[in-house]
């Protein structure tokens, strides 16, 4: 079984970042959008990050424009929006595809390891979340409707 540490992600600035950098941390990996009904979840995600980062939680945000074209901006515009409106300080990456032929390898792996409702792999909407343990194994998938604070107990169990 492979782990998330085997993947590389492209930062908002365009450089490649090995996820090996996060080895030993609990990760919450989220496909985000800045013009979505779930966008206010950035506030809850940042609160989780502030509450648990010192204990080993890192949240990784991946903007995606595949659902209703709700993240049309450039990477710079998206980063500025997240920081100005929600004070996001957790790592945000460059815009990606989470479904279809251009799906990034990381999200192919996440979807295979933690399937959605009725065993489907496809991500249904923005703010789908994947919880990863300190060994890099995908533990759980959360729907867009799951609020960040509802995941606190699962995160605490892994910390």
Q: Give me the residue spans of the domains in the chain.
A: 18-158
| Rounded Cα distance, 68 and 110, in Å | 22
**Confidence at residue 1, expressed as pLDDT on a 0 to 100 scale:** 57
pLDDT, tens digit, 9 for 90 and up, residues 108-141: 999 999 887 777 788 999 999 999 999 999 999 9
CATH superfamily of 18-158: Glutaredoxin (3.40.30.10)
Cβ–Cβ < 8 Å for 41, 147: yes
User: In the structure, what pLDDT confidence band is assigned to residue 40 with cuts at 50, 70 and 90?
Assistant: confident
> From the candidates 4, 19, 36, 158, which is the catalytic residue?
36
Q: Exposed, middle or buried by CB within 10 Å (0-12, 13-18, 19+), for 120?
A: exposed
| Rounded Cα distance, 113 and 126, in Å | 19
Cα dihedral 10, 14, 16, 21 sign: negative
Is 64 a residue of the active site? Answer: no
Provide the 3-class DSSP secondary structure of residue 132: strand
**Confidence at residue 66, expressed as pLDDT on a 0 to 100 scale:** 93
| Rounded Cα distance, 73 and 14, in Å | 15
| Rounded Cα distance, 42 and 48, in Å | 10
The pTM of this model reads 0.93
Q: Exposed, middle or buried by CB within 10 Å (0-12, 13-18, 19+), for 32?
A: buried
Q: Tokens 């080993």 — which residue?
A: 56
User: In the structure, what pLDDT confidence band is assigned to residue 71 with cuts at 50, 70 and 90?
Assistant: confident
| Rounded Cα distance, 43 and 63, in Å | 15
pLDDT, tens digit, 9 for 90 and up, residues 1-28: 589 999 999 998 899 999 999 999 999 9
Cβ–Cβ < 8 Å for 13, 147: no
> What's the chain's length in residues?
159
* Section 46-64 average pLDDT: 96
């Amino acid at each position: 079984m492979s782990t998330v540490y085997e993947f590389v992600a492209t930062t908002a600035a365009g450089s490649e970042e090995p996820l090996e950098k996060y080895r030993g941390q609990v990760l919450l990996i989220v496909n985000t959008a800045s013009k979505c009904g779930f966008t206010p979840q950035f506030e809850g995600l940042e609160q989780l990050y502030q509450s648990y980062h010192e204990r080993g939680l890192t949240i990784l945000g991946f903007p995606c424009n595949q659902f209703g074209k709700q993240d049309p901006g450039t990477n710079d515009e998206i980063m500025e929006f997240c920081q100005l409106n929600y004070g996001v300080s957790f790592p945000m990456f460059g815009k990606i595809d989470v479904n279809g032929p251009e799906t990034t390898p990381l999200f192919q792996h996440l979807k295979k390891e933690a399937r959605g409702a009725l065993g489907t792999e496809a991500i249904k909407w923005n703010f789908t979340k994947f919880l990863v343990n300190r060994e890099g194994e995908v533990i759980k998938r959360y729907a867009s409707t799951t609020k960040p604070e509802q995941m606190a107990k699962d995160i605490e169990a892994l910390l």
